Amino acid sequence: MEISNKVPPIQNTAYVKQAAKTDEAKPARTGVARGDQVELSAKAKELQAALDAIQKMDDVDHEKVARIRAQLKAGTYKVDAEKIAGKMLEESLLKEAE
C-alpha cells in the first residue's frame, strides 16, 4: 500500500461548500456601521463631575499635617485616647458586619 502526501482540495468538503452558500446569502453591507449609543442622565453627569473633582484632590490634608507638626514641635499636641479607642471599635465592628 502506498501513502501519498496528496491532500484533497479543501473546496470539495461539504463544510466549505455550505459556508460558501451562507456567504452568498448574506447581503453586502454598505455605508457606515452604527454603534451603540448611550445617553447619561443629568444625575449621572453630576455624579461623574463630583467623582472627577474628588480624584483631582490631594490625598493628604497639608494644612492639618502642618498644624499637627507645629503642635508636636511646640509640645502642645494632645492625644485623645477615647476618640482613638472609639474609632478602633467602630472600624472593628464594621469589619465584623461585612
- pLDDT (tens, 9 = 90+) of the chain, 98 residues, equals 566 666 555 555 666 667 667 655 556 666 666 788 888 899 999 999 999 999 998 888 999 999 999 999 999 999 999 999 999 999 999 888 88
Domain definitions of the chain by residue range: 61-98
Task: State the pTM of this model.
Answer: 0.37
Alpha-carbon distance 31 to 38, whole Å? Answer: 22
How do residues 41-68 score in pLDDT, each as one tens digit?
999 999 999 999 999 988 889 999 999 9
DSSP string, 67-81: HHHHHHHHT-----H
